[in-house]
Amino acid sequence: MASGMFRAGALAALMAGAITGCDVFDFDVNLAQQSFKLDFGQQTGTMPTVACDSSAGACNVAPSISLDTSSTSGTPSQVGVTLGCDDASRQCFAQVTARASTTVGVIQDDSLSSKIERHSLGFVKVADVAYTIPTNSLTFDIPQIDVYAGPAGSTSETDAGVALLGSTQPIVAGTPVTEAQHLIITEGNPARPVIEHAIEHKQDFVFIVVASPRLDAGNPIPAGTVEVDVFPKLTVGL
């Protein structure tokens, strides 16, 4: 009798969940932390003031900027600098682009595999991606760092299948961020189906971070390192 009452109670709970829209089998999964290090080298000084005319290509012969970006730890980063001419100020500027990528091993992730059998995954609801910036020795401000998600093997935000997940708050030179910030992934977020597809098909996927600050004359020459730690959290349903 007690067993029958238990089954009836469980059935009632399931029916109540269906009526109210509550997903009784949903649970949160914290995927492994991903760390990115963008290394801009150890240069000193300020951006030179060079007059230019966009039609004359004066910035092509401006003093070159060399970045020593050799890194002994963390995810290797790619950093490049191109020079351009600002039509309004008629001065040369430097456009810096830095990116780093890392792969999320879905099947190998202990948090996911310990909570769910590999063959029983039903669907994934992506909750949010938290991030901190524990290390920041940059000599310049970065307006934002863009975070992308893409299929395994992706290394750039322009690769096929890569989609923007979100952007960080402005990164102030030399200022770490120890309190977790959040990139909330809504229903219409373009990166959501990328991650959902990877999880549901038990495939690895990639996070890519990209910083593209512009440095005008008189700004510090780009130098220093910044580390971005990403903490993906998923809501999984069976």
- Identify the pLDDT of residue 74: 45
pLDDT tens string 128-187: 899 999 999 999 999 999 999 999 999 999 999 999 999 999 999 999 999 999 998 877
Mean pLDDT over the full length of the chain? 78
pLDDT tens string 208-229: 999 999 989 888 888 899 999 9
Let me know if 19 is exposed, middle or buried by CB neighbors in 10 A (0-12, 13-18, 19+). Answer: exposed
- Say which residue, 10 or 218, is predicted with more confidence: 218
Q: pLDDT grade, residue 11 (50/70/90)?
A: very low
* Percent residues over pLDDT 90 in the chain: 32
d(CA 142, CA 59) in angstroms, rounded, equals 23
> How would you classify residue 48: left for phi > 0, otherwise alpha for psi between -120 and 50, otherwise beta?
beta
Residue 113 pLDDT more than 80?
no
β 27-30/225-237 pair status:
antiparallel
Q: pLDDT grade, residue 126 (50/70/90)?
A: low
- Identify the pLDDT of residue 164: 96
Q: pLDDT grade, residue 80 (50/70/90)?
A: confident
pLDDT tens string 84-105: 888 888 888 888 888 999 888 8
Residue 2 pLDDT more than 90?
no
Residue 206 pLDDT more than 60?
yes
- Identify the pLDDT of residue 188: 84
* Percent residues over pLDDT 70 in the chain: 69
- Identify the pLDDT of residue 105: 81
Q: pLDDT grade, residue 112 (50/70/90)?
A: low
- Identify the pLDDT of residue 197: 85
d(CA 67, CA 126) in angstroms, rounded, equals 38
Using an 8 Å Cβ cutoff, are 94 and 218 in contact? no
- Identify the pLDDT of residue 13: 43
Using an 8 Å Cβ cutoff, are 199 and 123 in contact? no
Domains, the chain, with CATH or none: 25-47+67-80+95-237 (2.60.120)
d(CA 186, CA 195) in angstroms, rounded, equals 13
